Amino acid sequence: MRMTRHRTTSLYNDAVRSRRRGSTFIVLLLVSTLAVAAALAYQAQYAARSHRATAENVLRDYATFASWEFSRLARRELNDVLGSYLASLSRSCRGRDTLPDLTQLLRGADG
């Protein structure tokens, strides 16, 4: 009878150890899965921050370029308008020391 009891106890202890090993394996698997998920979440957050910074830099560069292009075109337009106005003014002057009267200036501005 002792042998049967020892055998039963031994089988029970083996079953408990086997169950613990299985539980330990499952716990380790779950913890490692959680660690991989956390690493992936961190990487996704880092990528999102990096993409946002890149988009902000691109928008800032585009705004700088747009303002430069606008000022260049405005300067060209002002030069054209003022140049034509001053050219008509100089044509309406009779001499070096005379200025045209107001009616001539108004006609020059219209035409």
Distance in angstroms (rounded) separating the CA atoms of residues 47 and 40: 10
Phi, psi of 102 (to 5 degrees): -65, -40
With cut-offs at 50, 70 and 90, classify the pLDDT of residue 9. low
The model's pLDDT over 90-107, given as tens digits with 9 standing for 90+, comes to: 777 766 667 767 776 677
Q: Which residues 6+ apart lie within 8 Å of 27 measured at CB?
A: none
Higher pLDDT, 30 or 106: 30
Distance in angstroms (rounded) separating the CA atoms of residues 4 and 25: 31
Helices 2-92 and 102-110, axial angle in degrees (round to 10): 140
